Amino acid sequence: MFESLSDRLSDVFGRLTKKGALTDSDVAEAMREVRLALLEADVALPVVKDFVAAVKEKAIGQDVVRSVTPGQMVIKIVHDHLVEVLGGADGATDIDLNAVPPVPIMMVGLQGSGKTTTTAKIAYRLTNRDKKKVLMASLDVRRPAAQEQLKVLGEQAGVATLPIIAGQSPVDIAKRALTAARLQGFDVVILDTAGRLHIDEALMQEIEAVKRETNPHEVMLVADSLTGQDAVTVAKQFHDRIGLTGIALTRVDGDGRGGAALSMRAVTGVPLKLMGLGEKIDALEVFHADRIANRILG
Binding-site entries: 109-116, 192-196, 250-253
**CB of residue 174 to ligand GDP, shortest distance in Å:** 17
* C-beta closer to ligand GDP: residue 12 or 107: 107
Stretch that binds ligand GDP, among 18-26, 174-182, 198-206, 247-255 (CB under 6 A): 247-255
- State which residue has the least CB distance to ligand GDP: 276
**Binding-residue total with ligand GDP (CB under 6 A):** 16
* C-beta closer to ligand GDP: residue 163 or 254: 254
Q: Dihedrals φ, ψ of 168, to 5°? A: -80, 150
Does residue 288 interact with ligand GDP by CB under 6 A?
no
Stretch that binds ligand GDP, among 92-100, 104-112, 173-181, 285-293 (CB under 6 A): 104-112
Q: Is 281 left (phi over 0), alpha (psi -120 to 50) or beta?
A: alpha
Q: In sequence order, what DSSP letters do the residues of the chain get, joined into one string?
A: -PPPHHHHHHHHHHHHHTTSS--HHHHHHHHHHHHHHHHHTT--HHHHHHHHHHHHHHHHHTTGGG-SSHHHHHHHHHHHHHHHHHH-SS--------SSSSEEEEEE--TTSSHHHHHHHHHHHHHHTS---EEEEE---SSHHHHHHHHHHHHHHT-EEPPP-TT--HHHHHHHHHHHHHHHT-SEEEEE----SS--HHHHHHHHHHHHHH--SEEEEEEEGGGTHHHHHHHHHHHHHT--SEEEEE-TTSS--SHHHHHHHHHH-PPEEEEE-SSSTT-EEE--HHHHHHHHH-
Does residue 114 interact with ligand GDP by CB under 6 A?
yes
Stretch that binds ligand GDP, among 10-18, 71-79, 170-178, 248-256 (CB under 6 A): 248-256
Does residue 193 interact with ligand GDP by CB under 6 A?
no
Which of 112, 144, 158, 243 touches ligand GDP by CB under 6 A?
112
Stretch that binds ligand GDP, among 3-11, 53-61, 82-90, 105-113 (CB under 6 A): 105-113
Upstream peptide bond of 271 is cis (omega within 30 degrees of 0): no
The angle formed by the CA atoms of residues 76, 81 and 83, to the nearest 5 degrees, is 95
* C-beta closer to ligand GDP: residue 46 or 254: 254
* C-beta closer to ligand GDP: residue 70 or 276: 276
Does residue 237 interact with ligand GDP by CB under 6 A?
no
**CB of residue 283 to ligand GDP, shortest distance in Å:** 6
Which of 63, 130, 148, 279 touches ligand GDP by CB under 6 A?
279
Does residue 109 interact with ligand GDP by CB under 6 A?
yes
Stretch that binds ligand GDP, among 27-35, 46-54, 128-136, 246-254 (CB under 6 A): 246-254
| Site residues (vs ligand GDP, CB under 6 A) | 109, 111-117, 195, 250-251, 253, 276-279
